[in-house]
Chain A
Amino acid sequence: MSSTFSSSINTITPRSFTNNNPSLTPFLGSARNLRFNPLTNSTLPIPRLRQSNIFAVSDVKQKHLNSSPSVGNLLITKEEALELYEDMVLGRTFEDMCAQMYYRGKMFGFVHLYNGQEAVSTGFIKLLTKKDTVVSTYRDHVHALSKGVPAREVMSELFGRTTGCVRGQGGSMHMFSKEHNLIGGFAFIGEGIPVATGAAFTSKYKREALKQTNCDAVTVAFFGDGTCNNGQFYECLNMAALWKLPIVFVVENNLWAIGMSHLRATSDPEIWKKGPAFGMPGVHVDGMDVLKVREVAKEAIERARRGDGPTLVECETYRFRGHSLADPDELRDPSEKAHYAARDPLTALKKYMIESKLASEAELKAIEKKIDELVEDSVEFADASPHPPRSQLLENVFADPKGFGIGPDGKYRCEDPKFTEGTAHV
């Protein structure tokens, strides 16, 4: 268990399939109950396979408590822990505020909230540097926040204001930040993965073709379990492994693709196994446990940075709300929801920090208060920000506005004064 990652990487070798710790309990509890095809249950010893590759914070904590309670043996420093906690609280508070604002009619369209999955975003992105790239999905607010995009800009974007991170032109599902190397925000399933692969290709290209030896930027692509049945996922696993691209594929397996249970949609629900099939490590980690996610993420990101190629990480997590705010969420079993609610990643981290004396209750309270104020401020800022003016309409369609072409008068259409007013017909 000391080198959890390397042992779980070797999922192809029989060694890792052996269950050497019978005390481990599989946390895929509800998923097993939901197993669609009983045949699978009887023929495949899935729970056993799962066990050897699942690492929950409780196990590690147990191990550390057993060995030595000294601070030096803790999984994380105080500063790191506080940073993680703050980021997770920010994600949770921000999303709860989004729900409020949505119901108050301040934002519209499809708004997908991240509640419950914070450990994944925080666990990975807080290990990245600014020059590393993040590619997200339609559930992207929290990825943006973790990557450093100010809450004001994200909230303003949701409000559709000019101060939004993409000037009100993208909305909930299209968050970008060139400054923070967040390159989407992709609203369709799977379409962000090739783009992420392209960003990783650029890193390799800069290093090898342009001889920029200091370029070691890593790309992390987030997507869900539903995406793992989409061709682009497999095509990109192949290309990334083939060319050893510096990328980490992070599956946020929240068990549900809107109303389609992962087990009803997927012949082999163990997504991490698809990594070894393409010649890259596949890791399964408890996505409700930020410290475990972080441990795996550290190894995967370092691997990419070293130039050793991609990793597929399956984080088993759960969303505490419906697919989007338009989803009444009537399909999922209340007991399943309760099971995961009890494993709330925020509560778990808080408990761990207090029990390990990494932080006092008061310190954590102070963080919560600070974030509450920050989120409040983002709403006030967004609400006070201007709506996009008409003149903005035709900006940014083309990077080079000559793409609008030559009008009957022989001038480029973008030279028409009406163009800059946004009233030209193009």
Chain B
Amino acid sequence: MAAIFQGIGAATALSPTPSNCFDSKKLPLPSRRSLSGRKASFVVVRSDGSTNFGSGSRSQKAQKLITNAVATKPDSAASTSASKPGHELLLFEALREGLEEEMDRDPNVCVMGEDVGHYGGSYKVTRGLATKYGDLRVLDTPIAENSFTGMGIGAAMTGLRPIVEGMNMGFLLLAFNQISNNCGMLHYTSGGQFKIPIVIRGPGGVGRQLGAEHSQRLESYFQSIPGIQMVACSTPYNAKGLMKAAIRSDNPVILFEHVLLYNLKERIPDEEYICNLEEAEMVRPGEHVTILTYSRMRYHVMQAAKTLVNKGYDPEVIDIRSLKPFDLHTIGNSIKKTHRVLIVEECMRTGGIGASLTAAITENFHDYLDAPIVCLSSQDVPTPYAGTLEEWTVVQPAQIVTAVEQLCQ
């Protein structure tokens, strides 16, 4: 298993070829056909990197990823080259591109939220869309989160495919009842009669001194709602691919974006592609320890990985991407190879994604573990304003290095 995985894994840092991408809508499940379809795409996606576009830079593994990765250091000259195919854009532009392609493809796709229209979105994800599609398809709503989220659900039940933007993820707490009771449960309580193909998305995570309320990680709040899928994007490539997949999914999907990653730059294919909502992304194959992470912490991990490699460690880094459900296949294969797990998350420690992941790993792969799982999470405090305090709230690369060193002793 490990050998097979390595073979696949070596190429996983590459982006999938667009034509072979997994299209969740075209493959009805569950069926034998869809299973083989998925397997086929699985293999192709992960072994066909050589023909790829911009992410060729990413295929050269960790070093370049690091330079490319940290949003606060936009010095990623190495990743750009005019001669390469594809086009280079920022993460928020990638999201916008995905949105626009889907709105072009399907007239039932619409956007609603605070300032998504004329203003173009607080992080400009919907810039220019209102001009192109009109005020009804890109609907500026009053500041009434619970109600416009509920409206999105009602619209989804009656045939539209709305994308509801929380201007800041934290504001979605005001829509919690709609997200939980209606978004998550209506398909079930209606005996399967109504689908709720809605995407709820927005900027979250700890930013730069935004204060407690604007620095929330709501994935832990939402994770136990039945009937909801959650994905976190981390690169322009997967941001676009996941946005498109989320829109096409018949399930309600919450797409987590991170305020500090919007200006991340990457070259992505010109051709249309879609990411698989349920799959984790192999960021850096390695042998010694499995580091599971997502969203912004991916870049803290990759910074730490640089140090770790210099120190002689070979960590395997997986961006779990799908926060609910977990891709236990990719995670399990890695654990069977490294036998050690470090989880790095920005989520809260108590009841967070890391806690759920720890439980899932213990349940499924306990026999493969040579050491207890280590989980580095944010401190259980309201995110402080002061820069120093804020920095100590979330996991820093140095902590990751120390944790790996201890795990691998």
Chain A positions within 8 Å of B, measured between CB atoms, are: 133, 135, 164-170, 174, 176-178, 183-188, 191, 193-206, 208-210, 231-232, 235-236, 238-239, 242, 395-415, 419-420
Q: Are B142 and A235 in touch, CB under 8 angstroms? A: yes
10 A-B pairs with the lowest CB-CB distances in the bound complex, closest first? A198-B154, A194-B150, A405-B325, A166-B191, A235-B147, A195-B154, A176-B190, A396-B192, A235-B144, A167-B191
Q: Are A174 and B190 in touch, CB under 8 angstroms? A: yes
Q: 9 new A-B pairs (CB below 8 Å) besides A210-B107, A239-B148, A396-B190?
A: A166-B191, A183-B194, A186-B182, A198-B153, A239-B141, A399-B197, A403-B325, A405-B324, A405-B326
Given contacts A174-B189, A204-B136, contact A198 B24 (CB under 8 A): no
Q: List B161-190 residues whose CB lies under 8 Å from chain A.
A: 177-178, 181-182, 186-190
CA distance A235 to B195 in the complex (A): 25
- Chain B residue at minimum C-beta to C-beta distance from A415: B30
CA distance A166 to B187 in the complex (A): 10
Between-chain CB contacts (< 8 Å), 14 pairs: A167-B192, A169-B190, A188-B181, A195-B151, A196-B154, A205-B110, A395-B192, A400-B24, A400-B250, A405-B278, A406-B278, A406-B279, A408-B364, A412-B29
Residues of A within 8 Å of B227, CB to CB, are 397-398, 403
Q: Mark B190-227, 1 if CB is under 8 A from A, else 0.
A: 11111111000000000000000000000000000011
Q: Are A176 and B193 in touch, CB under 8 angstroms? A: yes
Q: Are B189 and A166 in touch, CB under 8 angstroms? A: yes
Smallest Cβ distance from B146 to chain A, in angstroms?
A: 6
How many pairs of residues, A versus B, come closer than 8 Å at their CB atoms?
213
Smallest Cβ distance from B334 to chain A, in angstroms?
A: 11
Residues of A within 8 Å of B384, CB to CB, are none
Q: Are B177 and A188 in touch, CB under 8 angstroms? A: yes
- Chain A residue at minimum C-beta to C-beta distance from B146: A232
- Chain A residue at minimum C-beta to C-beta distance from B174: A231
Smallest Cβ distance from A268 to chain B, in angstroms?
A: 21
Residues of A within 8 Å of B324, CB to CB, are 405
Q: Are A194 and B149 in touch, CB under 8 angstroms? A: yes
Residues of A within 8 Å of B134, CB to CB, are 209
- Chain B residue at minimum C-beta to C-beta distance from A187: B181
Q: Are A419 and B189 in touch, CB under 8 angstroms? A: no
Q: Are B144 and A238 in touch, CB under 8 angstroms? A: yes
CA distance A242 to B141 in the complex (A): 10
CA distance A208 to B159 in the complex (A): 15
Smallest Cβ distance from A166 to chain B, in angstroms?
A: 3
Residues of A within 8 Å of B153, CB to CB, are 194-195, 198
- Chain B residue at minimum C-beta to C-beta distance from A394: B188
Q: Are B107 and A177 in touch, CB under 8 angstroms? A: no
* B309 on the A face (CB < 8 A): no
Q: Mark B30-53, 1 if CB is under 8 A from A, else 0.
A: 100001001100100000000000
Q: Are B30 and A166 in touch, CB under 8 angstroms? A: no
CA distance A188 to B150 in the complex (A): 13
Residues of B within 8 Å of A196, CB to CB, are 154
CA distance A195 to B188 in the complex (A): 16
Sorting the interface of chain B by its residue count into under 10, 10 to 19, 20 to 34 or 35 or more gives: 35 or more
Residues of A within 8 Å of B107, CB to CB, are 209-210
CA distance A188 to B325 in the complex (A): 28
Residues of A within 8 Å of B136, CB to CB, are 204-205, 208-209
Smallest Cβ distance from A412 to chain B, in angstroms?
A: 6
CA distance A407 to B227 in the complex (A): 17
Given contacts A178-B193, A239-B151, A397-B226, contact A169 B329 (CB under 8 A): no
* B156 on the A face (CB < 8 A): yes
* B247 on the A face (CB < 8 A): no
Q: Are A402 and B190 in touch, CB under 8 angstroms? A: no
CA distance A406 to B331 in the complex (A): 10
Q: Are A201 and B197 in touch, CB under 8 angstroms? A: no
CA distance A393 to B278 in the complex (A): 22
Residues of B within 8 Å of A413, CB to CB, are 325
Smallest Cβ distance from B338 to chain A, in angstroms?
A: 15
Smallest Cβ distance from A277 to chain B, in angstroms?
A: 15
* B251 on the A face (CB < 8 A): yes
Given contacts A201-B154, A239-B144, A419-B30, contact A396 B327 (CB under 8 A): no
Q: Are A411 and B110 in touch, CB under 8 angstroms? A: no
Q: Are A197 and B150 in touch, CB under 8 angstroms? A: yes
Residues of A within 8 Å of B30, CB to CB, are 401, 412, 414-415, 419-420
* B121 on the A face (CB < 8 A): no
CA distance A204 to B160 in the complex (A): 11
* B383 on the A face (CB < 8 A): no
CA distance A174 to B189 in the complex (A): 6
Q: List B113-156 residues whose CB lies under 8 Å from chain A.
A: 134, 136-137, 141-142, 144, 146-156
Residues of B within 8 Å of A420, CB to CB, are 30
Residues of B within 8 Å of A403, CB to CB, are 227, 229, 249, 251, 278, 325
* B292 on the A face (CB < 8 A): no
Pick the contact of A405: B35, B322, B332, B364 (CB < 8 A). Answer: B322
- Chain B residue at minimum C-beta to C-beta distance from A238: B142
CA distance A87 to B152 in the complex (A): 33
Q: Are B191 and A195 in touch, CB under 8 angstroms? A: no
Pick the contact of A166: B29, B158, B159, B193 (CB < 8 A). Answer: B193
Q: Are A396 and B157 in touch, CB under 8 angstroms? A: no
Q: Are B147 and A194 in touch, CB under 8 angstroms? A: yes
Q: Are B182 and A191 in touch, CB under 8 angstroms? A: yes
CA distance A401 to B373 in the complex (A): 30
Q: Are A177 and B193 in touch, CB under 8 angstroms? A: yes
* B282 on the A face (CB < 8 A): no
Q: Are B154 and A402 in touch, CB under 8 angstroms? A: no
Q: Are B279 and A170 in touch, CB under 8 angstroms? A: no
CA distance A177 to B178 in the complex (A): 20
- Chain B residue at minimum C-beta to C-beta distance from A411: B35
Residues of B within 8 Å of A231, CB to CB, are 144, 146-147
Q: Are A209 and B189 in touch, CB under 8 angstroms? A: no
Which of A167, A183, A197, A198 gathers most chain B CB within 10 Å? A198
* B313 on the A face (CB < 8 A): no
